[in-house]
Structure 1
Amino acid sequence: MKFLGRFSKILVGFVLFMVLAYGGLQWFVHDQVDKGIHEAVARIPGMDVKYSRLDVRIFDQTVTLTEVELSQGAKRIFADKVEFFDFDEKHSMPHHMRMAVQGLVMPADFTHLGALAPLLEALGVLELRGDGALDYAYSPTDKVLHVNDFRFDDKELGNLELSIDLSNVDLDDYRMEKLVGLHIGAGSLRFVDAGLVERIFETYARSRNMSREMAREVMVGELETLAAQARAEDMEQAAQAYAGLAGFLVEPEGILVRTDPEQPVPWMYFFMGRNGAESINLLNLTVEEFAGESDQ
């Protein structure tokens, strides 16, 4: 009995030690992660980050930030929650990352969206609101960026899912002018409409002083004409792609666009006098329509 008494004390002491050790480890990891986040953000001039809570799950290395505000000057990005499942801390531009964001509110301006911003502004989209995710990995050896999964769900616009391989990319010496050497490889874009296409029709109608119904007929007619021209030139793949786009505009539910070129295609090829049909063939691009609730 004395042995059991001593053993129980040792066991209780061991459990207390483990609890205290785990608590200390949590505090240390939390402190190091918090420091690492601010150091990473500080690498970008003028950038600052605030959050109300930081949680670290040690065993699966997940970091969760709650009520996040990312700012650069007057620009602000907000998110209810940001989770990092994988993050490369060794490079100023991470070579791999897997993350998810909930309740994102982001200005749809040039700073955040580049050349896409003027297009969204023309559609009356001044900010994006929704949930998203990003999963990518970069290979410095062959300079290929594998975007395994990028998705964003905006309830007023639609749900976008993208995966693509981009080659001739140098993340360690990233500059905008280097994008001219970008090569496009295999990829897929899946989009389920929730209002974006309607905005396109309305914007087109206003610019041409016509009704929304007429705008749709004109846009569908132009795509059908392109499909007919492609068939006349014996470019069936391009014809099917144009027809798929036209069908999507007739019933804008879901669309799936895939690229699968034999070799990655230089981005600059599309600015060298090639028409749309030639670009479609270069990328080995296909277009499929599907019902909005499809699991394709």
Structure 2
Amino acid sequence: MRPIFKFLISFAIFVAVCAAGLGWYIEYEVEEGLERAVAETEGLRLRYADCSVDIFDRTVVLTGVEATLPSGHHFTADEIRIQSFDQLNPLPYYTNATSSGLTIPVTSANFGAWAPPMLKMGIAEVRGKAAVDYAYSPDTATLTVRELSLDDANLGRASLSGQVDQFDLINPRLEQLIGMRIKEATLHFVNAGLMDRLVHDWAARMKASEEETVNRIATELSGLAQFADSQENGPAKNVMLGLQRFVVKPETMTVTAAPVDPVPVLYFFMGRDLMENLQLLDMRINANQDN
């Protein structure tokens, strides 16, 4: 029996060496492909401390990441895990990735006009983890977002999912977004401090106490709900009452849009007011449903 055990041990060592060699080869190929993709993408800059590949589930892990996107957005991350990624198209048709130790500085490049008020509220950076999982079908020009989320322990967690069609990812142009149609969307938000900062800022602007500020906003939303009800606009009434509940007790909020027929973005620029757009999207808000 001893020769068999020796063989098994030797074979196990052989397999381990082969696996290590294969892993090294795959990592080399991945790094080479990654560097080539970055070089071919104008405006994209990427640095990372290490790249590793799990040969069994094909997960690519980048650590110590610093990136600047073609849009000018920049961030750092302790780790990015890429479960799947389309390598055949300049703009990937599908991506499934997560990041941890993510840091997004609050700058004009990252947040545009929102940067100054965020800085005023004491938000110098957004830190936490994020996930992106989407797939694009060129045959139907449909983009399906399964998850686009950002989780900051000091601010909250926002997660978006949904589907749009008549969307050209192959040759994207800004003017084409007008023809894009919204089929469905869900935004889930869990508050962890963001609303406290917002209420404090609103109170300062209104020169009132935070309690008085919340009461005023709740009263205004109640009035808007009554107006929507008088117009027999159920979705708008639901949204206003949902916002009212969330403002009074800011814990969780789920916003859904489920129109009977896909809604072109163009419709929002055709003179409709907010109430009409809410009805068009059949939008609803469910606040604090888990409490």
- Which TM-score applies when normalising by structure 1? 0.87
Is the Cα–Cα contact under 8 Å of residues 74 and 110 in structure 2 kept in the other structure?
no
State the one-letter code of the partner of 2:32. Answer: K
Partner of 2:210 in structure 1? 212
Partner of 2:177 in structure 1? 179
> Is 1:149 aligned to 2:150, yes or no?
no
Distance 1:110 1:167, change over 3 A: farther
**C-alpha displacement at 1:12, in angstroms?**
6.5
Partner of 2:236 in structure 1? 238
Structure 1: distance between partners of 2:121 and 2:267? 28
**C-alpha displacement at 1:44, in angstroms?**
3.1
Q: Which of residues 59, 62, 67 is equivalent to 1:65? A: 62
Partner of 1:286 in structure 2? 284
- CA deviation vs aligned residue, 1:45-64 (integer Å, no higher than 9, x gap): 34322222222101110111
**C-alpha displacement at 1:218, in angstroms?**
2.2
Matches within 5 A, 1:133-148: 133-148=131-146
Partner of 1:259 in structure 2? 257
Structure 2: distance between partners of 1:20 and 1:200? 57
Partner of 2:23 in structure 1? 26
**C-alpha displacement at 1:121, in angstroms?**
5.1
Distance 1:126 1:171, change over 3 A: farther
- CA deviation vs aligned residue, 1:20-43 (integer Å, no higher than 9, x gap): 332221111000111122222223
Q: Which of residues 222, 225, 241 is equivalent to 1:224? A: 222
Structure 2: distance between partners of 1:86 and 1:209? 51
Partner of 2:167 in structure 1? 169
Structure 1: distance between partners of 2:288 and 2:149? 18
Partner of 1:275 in structure 2? 273
**C-alpha displacement at 1:147, in angstroms?**
0.4
Structure 1: distance between partners of 2:162 and 2:195? 23
Number of matched pairs: 290
State the one-letter code of the partner of 1:148. Answer: R
Matches within 5 A, 1:29-68: 29-68=26-65
Distance 1:69 1:123, change over 3 A: same
**C-alpha displacement at 1:223, in angstroms?**
1.1
| Structure 1: tracts of 5 or more residues without a match | none
Distance 1:178 1:116, change over 3 A: farther
Q: Secondary structure at the match of 1:220?
A: helix
Distance 1:245 1:75, change over 3 A: closer
| Structure 2: tracts of 5 or more residues without a match | none
**C-alpha displacement at 1:107, in angstroms?**
2.3
Distance 1:143 1:118, change over 3 A: farther
State the one-letter code of the partner of 1:138. Answer: Y
Partner of 1:201 in structure 2? 199
Structure 1: distance between partners of 2:280 and 2:120? 30
Q: Secondary structure at the match of 1:106?
A: strand
Q: Secondary structure at the match of 1:105?
A: strand
Distance 1:46 1:127, change over 3 A: same
Distance 1:271 1:127, change over 3 A: farther
Structure 2: distance between partners of 1:119 and 1:272? 30
Q: Secondary structure at the match of 1:172?
A: coil
Structure 2: distance between partners of 1:76 and 1:290? 34
Q: Secondary structure at the match of 1:173?
A: coil
Structure 1: distance between partners of 2:175 and 2:109? 16
**C-alpha displacement at 1:245, in angstroms?**
0.7
**C-alpha displacement at 1:130, in angstroms?**
0.9
Is the Cα–Cα contact under 8 Å of residues 73 and 110 in structure 2 kept in the other structure?
no
Structure 1: distance between partners of 2:84 and 2:54? 12
- Which TM-score applies when normalising by structure 2? 0.89
Q: Percent identity between the aligned chains?
A: 34
